[in-house]
Amino acid sequence: MTSADLRRQLASLTTEAFRPELADIDRLPTLDIARLMNGEDAGVPAAVAARLPQIAAAIDAVAERMSRGGRLVYAGAGTAGRLGVLDASECPPTFNTDPAQVVGLIAGGPDAMVTSVEGAEDSKELARRDLDALKLTEDDTVVGVSASGRTPYAIGAVEHARALGALTIGLACNERSGLAAAAEHGIEVVVGPELVTGSTRLKAGTAQKLVLNMLSTITMIRLGKTYGNLMVDVRASNDKLRARSRRIVSLATGASDAEIEKALTESGGEVKNAILALLAGVDGPTATRLLEESGGHLRAALAHAAR
């Protein structure tokens, strides 16, 4: 593709559109610019809301695959790639997942998290190599993330994953995107032109963050990683998490501090096991067995214990 072709392609994208009414924004008082930016951001949730049916369908498909042991893999370049890595990195401390269960791939590798790696986003082959290193299976899900919906790295990841039988999702911020077309589940959250022309780390980045939050969080809810709205799969591994764990067990059970400490100690700091032990009146090993037999779902384990 020539540079002229690329310019024409970018000019056709909503996310890249120039807004002449904002041409004098640099002359405005700072407070006025802040108000403009805040007003722009306020429309992002509505754009996400318009795609909730597609998002929900994708989540159900992801949860079904992950319940069989599959992984959730994000693949993107630049801001989109960083957002995927961020979401993946938050899953172990929040849901006690194995670090290999939710993975973020960014074009150019880890260095690209803080430094631009020129040309990496333009390579479909790089995406194929990065995915091949993970040894994808049909139980895995690959989510290509790209504001424009035209990034070769994201499209290449989705195309390769789909050819291998993995579930694929394409998250973009333009309609009729190549990324959404390449994926089994296309999600196009159209937020419109940016306050600063082409700076898709703004509204487009916010929209992507909101959708990735939904994909990982609701999938984990479906997998039994919560009890109601409590993070019961958190593991008490530092002072902050130990305090949070005690509070979660208290909210779930109403037990005394001494009972909570005893249950957490006997469960090795596993919150879900401690809650089950307290609510079902069983010992640590029994709680572990009941959870294993219930696929890690606390409500199902409680129902099993009550029989």
Residues serving a catalytic function are: 90, 121
Rounded Cα–Cα distance for residues 16 and 64 (Å): 36
In Å, how far are 72, 260, 298, 303 from 272, measured between CA atoms?
A: 23, 12, 7, 14
Alpha helices in 133-283 (DSSP H): 152-163, 178-182, 203-222, 239-253, 257-266, 271-280
Q: Exposed/middle/buried for 34, CB within 10 Å: 0-12, 13-18, 19+?
A: exposed
Task: Read off the tokens for 163.
Answer: 């050819």
**DSSP code at position 227:** B
Buried b (16+ CB within 10 A) or exposed e, 197-233: eeebbbbbbbbbbbbbebbbbbbbbbbbbbbeebbbb
Rounded Cα–Cα distance for residues 41 and 63 (Å): 30
**Other Cβ atoms closer than 10 A to 234:** 23
What one-letter code names the amino acid at 281? Answer: G
Q: Which residue has the tokens 């939904």?
A: 214
Name 296's Cβ contacts closer than 8 Å, sequence gap at least 6: 223, 224, 225, 233, 272
Alpha helices in the chain (DSSP H): 3-11, 30-42, 44-49, 52-66, 78-95, 124-132, 152-163, 178-182, 203-222, 239-253, 257-266, 271-280, 284-293, 298-305
